[in-house]
Chain A
Amino acid sequence: MAERSFSEEVKKLRCGDGSVFQGEGILAITKALLQSGVSYVGGYQGSPISHLMDVLSDAQDILGELGVHFEASGSEATAAAMLSASINYPLRGAVTWKSTVGTNVASDALSNLASAGVTGGAMVIVGEDYGEGSSIMQERSYAFAMKAQMWLLDPRPNLPSIVDMVEKGFQLSEASNTPIFYMMRIRGCHVTGEFVARDNVPPSYSNRTPVTPTREPEKIILPPFVYQHEQEKIARRLPAAVEFIKEQKLNELFPGQYESLGIITCGGSYNTVIRALQRQGLADVYGNADIPIYCLNVAYPLVPDELVDFCVGKEQVLVLEEGQPEYIEQGIQTVLRRRDVQTRVFGKDIMPMAGEYTGQVMLEGITRFVLASSREDVPLALDLSAVLSLQTPLEEADIAALMENLPPRPAGLCTGCPERPLFSAIKQVQEELGPFHISSDIGCHSFATAAPFNLGNTIMGYGLSLASSSGMRHALPHKAISIMGDGGFWHNGLTSGVTSAVFNGHDGLLIIIDNGYSAATGGQDIPSLVEPSLIASTIDAERPRREQWQTIEDACRGAGVTWLETVSTYNIEAMKATLRRALGSDLPGLKVIIAEGECMLNRQRRVKPMLKQAIASGQRVNKSRFYIDPATCTGDHGCIRLSGCPSLTVRDNPDPLRTDPVSYVDNSCVGCGVCGGNAHSAVLCPSFSQVDLVFNPSGLDRFMHRLRSGVRNWWRGRDLRRQQQLQL
């Protein structure tokens, strides 16, 4: 069960003809898929399309009614391979993932799919994780579309366009027998708006109406067919696609009065272009612009005839394409040179080669573009220096002083996160044994590479930490250490990591963090998700989540691991002892520690209602949280440097003699006990205490409370009298 529930929103997916659908971009895409008659959907979660997977998962009733098959794929490669269903049969299907990373993982299957070609529409919805808010290295998916000859859609970011392009995309895929990338940018995924819905269409083939198995040997990617595929891509599929795009007017042309100028933009950037023009007085809020715009809702392939028609007679055009290299600009130059069109093409010469085209970047670029033209009758509301000065109104001295006072806010582990005590333990063992080189992985645990833990040297990809330690392990002064999440383990780590390491006699340490969910991407279920009472957490569980769960331990043993221990992350002392044992062991072979502790975000969502209900129904319940005694805290903050918990913070020192802030546990504390555990384990200070509030006390509780209070009050009276004597 994912972190965000869409169970209310998915009801909108039943909207029929003519009703107005309101919601987020992601939800609109799901609706568009159903309106297009998809037969199967799948994918692997990851920002910015995690919610698409969550929506699909929460919409299984509706999918089932229509006969649409859904799979939460094991990886992007798994998802891409699903699309093979569309090779032989007219089955429409869509899969989704985070790109570029997911596309990289899926690339083998995708290349083969693109070579074989498709009969039914096949669509990959890629969440292009580029620019602010991204969590991965910055690359474009565009290159993959070009090299494999898949078409890439980049629709204008408003809901009607987004929905329309899904349906047109399937038609394009079928008209050209080519799989499609449908690109959604981060902000587009989360944009809200409305569109007029149509009825959902049940797929032509499903469990109710099975296909008749047929074989088409020429679609298998073996020689000699692969040579034919390569020819066919260029001779037949590409022209068919170009023809369809032209005929259906997938790219849009917006006229403007200054006809000697033109802007060629990708659909995804269209709104930013309009805003920049509007701020320069060259467009209104409804998008009526004075400079003609050619909007590429299909970013690949380009349509030479449309480009030539747009450019002929223009003095200059501006190509707006985010990121590098400037594939589209190069493509346009090639088209224009071949047709001998002499229009000057501006692009990356006045726009930044790398990075997002934000509002400010766009405004600067378009201003430069207009200023470069020979036309002097184009009025600009802001001259270039006015535009540049918008960057900041602050004076330099103020900027410098401000920068001194802006704390960075990197993403970090949540309050009560089970991974925190693991890293506290590793940090303490590192202090004993000397500096560690750690191969890290993708997941929440990658936050340990930042303050306050500063643990981890490289991240090579999802589930690849153990693999990435293998070239290093012979040259390290300690046993190689790799850290992997349960999500990464099932995605890739079992085969690329564990199996290969055992095969090669790797004698290092692999720590697998088993928190029960794919936590970093929003708490989705994974194969090893068990009933919560079997994972290290303290509250009794509801019903088991999965009847047949796949354990990490069995998987590792099956791959040949013999040294394997499961330790609760919350037991810092046991974890430190296990780490020492694993790192000091003379036994050959891989050592695996499964560090177990339920994701606290998920746990709180599960436990909070149970706790409330228990208190309301009169059960005796202890509710814990932690407390730091400000009188004994000396303000050295050693506890924070070992933890970094959001609820462990600082506040002004109540002691007027002391000047440094004291450590303080705020009300968001979930009582996980890690700060107390650290105080013990690292011998920090006597300031931590666990305070249990007793709800619905028993008779004995009440009696003992009264008795103890009585004794304490008597003592308190004596102490107060003594303090009186010390008055000055």
Chain B
Amino acid sequence: MRTTNMLVAALGGEGGGVLTNWLIEVAQPAGSHCQSTSLAGVAQRTGASIYYLEFLPRDAGSRPPVMSLFPAQGDIDIAVTSEIAEAGRMLSRGFVSPDRTALISSDHRVYGITEKSATGDGTADADFIIELSARYAKRFIHFDLLELVQRHGTVISAGRLGAIAGAGVLPFAKSIFTDVIATGKGAAANCAAFEESFQRAASGGVAHFDPEVITPFVLPEATTALGGRLLPKVARLPAAVHEVVYLGVQRLLDYQDEAYADDFLSRLAAVVEMDGGDDDYALTRETARWLALWMAYEDIPRVAQLKCRPSREAEVRAEVGAAPEQAIQVSEYFHPRIEEVAALLPSGLGRRLLSPGIMRRLVEPFLGPRKLRTDKFWTLWTMRRLASLRYRRRKTLGYEQEWTMIERWLGSVQAAQSTGLAQAIADCGQMVKGYGATRHRTTSRLMQILDEVEQGRVRDASAVRGLQSAAMAGDDPEPFEQALVQGQ
């Protein structure tokens, strides 16, 4: 006879303690000894923490069992984790054994600080961890518990208890579990979440398995005269790039006008000629993606336009969970700088504004941090006026500056000796992001990379990609500067 051993991995504040207490309460009427331990300490401050429980049927007459306080590798029957990367952590620590362990996990993600703070996409590969868990656990039950409990308006512990009960890994009747959560605060929501989670786990956690159907994008037929003029030009490009280009055209129509979208298409036509078609025309596709985004750069009119977009109010209300008809107040944080104002003016005037003088002093009172209520009439009216400045965008200093950089980048792509290098340079378009100082940093690092390429110091694709990842490593200039030196 041996104990049944259970590991509960929780993140700080997720109620691992609540779940543990429920399990202790379950063990009592189920006629089982139960011992639990935990590591509290500073782990409760957002870190990862482990609760460990052992169960053994009570045996009249004999002395109490000696149970371990340590989870041990190869000695775990049930591992419960609240998000999928933590399932991966249990795998890495040896707490999931192919011959023994049932692994129960929610497959949502709670991102760690290193994943969140990357300049681009630093997130871990959840699909890989799911695949690995399925391969190494004796049984792997996983579904999105967070979505489930949020639908029932309760916390993840209730869902986890349901999954544990439904998985049938503890030899206790379902009613014993439900008795424990049937009273107290939020009992109804807890019971509902428990029930659904129980059913999902009982059916192996895949009851609602929806295989992801990827339907290939089909370029729609033109429905308007505008479409009749633009879509045939999109259609002339390889089918593999249709989706991105179509989205790009839509974006630029919203951003400026038909001529702007047309310009986008003709520049792409030049790129597709040098594209050998590798990797489904990745060169053209990625150039189109970053070109469209860069052409729709976020200046004051664009930000104002986005803040007035028709779908926005509904998006905000849904996100904050406002009841129908409930009043909400939206205070936006703006911080216009002299550079952004200058970018709105005709080139000559804009440059004069940037140098010290009377003009600058006149504008300065309107700069700096502003907290504006965009649910109010006058603020919204001002936003709409600012948004309408976009019709004069082509004559502004900002337009001139952005297009100098865009053309340089695009020129570099087209001048590249190989498709590989061209693609690496095109992908550097990803670096163009942020506002203010961040934007200045990202674009000037991109220009530095182009310098390296143009002056022949960097000749191959992998070197360009190396520079790009160093440039995106963070705010600290050192990694990028080092990469530049090493490249030479």
Contacts and interface: CB of A to CB of B under 8 A. Distances in A.
A71 B372 CA distance: 51
B128 to A, nearest CB: 6
7 smallest CB-CB distances across A and B, nearest first, come from: A359-B72, A407-B112, A133-B39, A728-B227, A390-B74, A411-B47, A634-B433
Given A520-B42, A650-B116, A405 B320 contact: no
Given A47-B40, A679-B333, A691-B316, A413 B69 contact: no
Given A406-B124, A411-B43, A659-B430, A191 B69 contact: yes
Given A399-B92, A403-B92, A727-B226, 15 more contacts: A129-B41, A134-B41, A187-B39, A286-B64, A390-B72, A405-B129, A407-B111, A409-B11, A657-B251, A676-B371, A689-B333, A697-B327, A716-B313, A727-B227, A728-B223
Interface string A665-691: 001000000001001111111101111
A622 B331 CA distance: 13
Interface string A185-199: 011101111000000
B425 interface: no
A627 B316 CA distance: 8
A395 to B, nearest CB: 9
B377 to A, nearest CB: 5
Given A650-B111, A659-B121, A686-B435, A275 B72 contact: yes
B56 interface: yes
A625 B69 contact: no
Contacts of B75: 275, 279, 359
B183 interface: no
A447 B39 CA distance: 18
B431 to A, nearest CB: 9
A630 to B, nearest CB: 8
Contact of B45 (A447, A638, A679): A447
A650 to B, nearest CB: 5
B27 to A, nearest CB: 10
Contact of A411 (B12, B289, B316, B320): B12
A393 interface: yes
Given A407-B124, A726-B254, A414 B45 contact: yes
B76 to A, nearest CB: 10
Interface string B21-53: 000100000000011111111111111110010
B377 A644 contact: no
Contacts of A520: 42, 45
Contacts of A702: 327
A451 interface: yes
Interface string A592-627: 000000000000000000000000000000100101
A331 interface: no
Nearest to B86: A409
12 contacts: A47-B42, A134-B41, A135-B42, A188-B37, A413-B46, A636-B442, A638-B438, A657-B289, A659-B430, A679-B333, A701-B327, A728-B246
B298 A680 contact: no
Interface of A: 47-48, 50-51, 129, 132-135, 157-158, 186-188, 190-193, 270-272, 274-275, 278-279, 284-287, 358-360, 363, 390-394, 398-399, 401-414, 444, 447, 450-452, 520, 573, 622, 625, 627, 629-632, 634-638, 640-641, 644, 646, 648-650, 656-661, 667, 676, 679-686, 688-695, 697, 701-702, 704-705, 707-708, 711-712, 715-716, 719-720, 723, 725-728
A556 B342 CA distance: 49
A133 B43 contact: yes
Contact of A638 (B12, B38, B320, B475): B475
A694 B45 CA distance: 31
Contacts of B330: 627, 689-692
Contacts of A403: 92
B248 interface: yes
Contacts of B332: 686, 688-689
Most chain A Cβ neighbours within 10 Å, of B40, B48, B65, B303: B40
Interface stretch (B93-101, B156-164, B205-213, B450-458): B93-101
A24 to B, nearest CB: 9
A103 to B, nearest CB: 18
A637 B117 contact: yes
Interface stretch (B186-194, B275-283, B304-312, B459-467): B304-312
A387 to B, nearest CB: 9
B369 A644 contact: no
A627 to B, nearest CB: 6
Given A411-B43, A632-B298, A728-B226, A406 B12 contact: no
Most chain B Cβ neighbours within 10 Å, of A444, A660, A725: A660
A158 to B, nearest CB: 7
B247 A657 contact: yes
Nearest to A520: B42
Contact of A631 (B36, B135, B312, B375): B312
A402 B88 contact: yes
A566 to B, nearest CB: 23
B222 interface: yes
B333 A686 contact: yes
Contact of B329 (A683, A691, A711): A691
B87 to A, nearest CB: 10
Contact of A708 (B43, B310, B375): B375
Nearest to A705: B327
A307 to B, nearest CB: 23
Contacts of A682: 437
Contact of A657 (B56, B244, B335): B244
Nearest to B12: A411
Most chain B Cβ neighbours within 10 Å, of A451, A638, A702: A638
A188 B121 CA distance: 42
Nearest to B370: A680
B322 A693 contact: yes
B62 A649 contact: no
Nearest to A635: B433
A414 B42 CA distance: 11
A641 to B, nearest CB: 5
Nearest to B290: A657
A432 to B, nearest CB: 12
A360 B94 contact: yes
A695 B325 CA distance: 11
Nearest to A697: B327
Given A135-B42, A286-B62, A406-B88, A192 B119 contact: no
B415 interface: no
Nearest to A677: B333
Contacts of B417: none
A686 to B, nearest CB: 5
Nearest to B223: A727
A393 B434 contact: no
B380 A641 contact: no
A727 B224 contact: yes
A397 to B, nearest CB: 11
Contacts of A134: 41
A401 B128 contact: yes
A451 B114 CA distance: 8
B126 to A, nearest CB: 8
A402 B92 contact: yes
Nearest to B298: A632
Interface string B354-396: 0000000000000001010011110010001000000000000
B231 interface: yes
A591 to B, nearest CB: 27
Given A405-B85, A636-B119, A287 B436 contact: no
B293 A657 contact: yes
A278 B5 CA distance: 14
A538 to B, nearest CB: 15
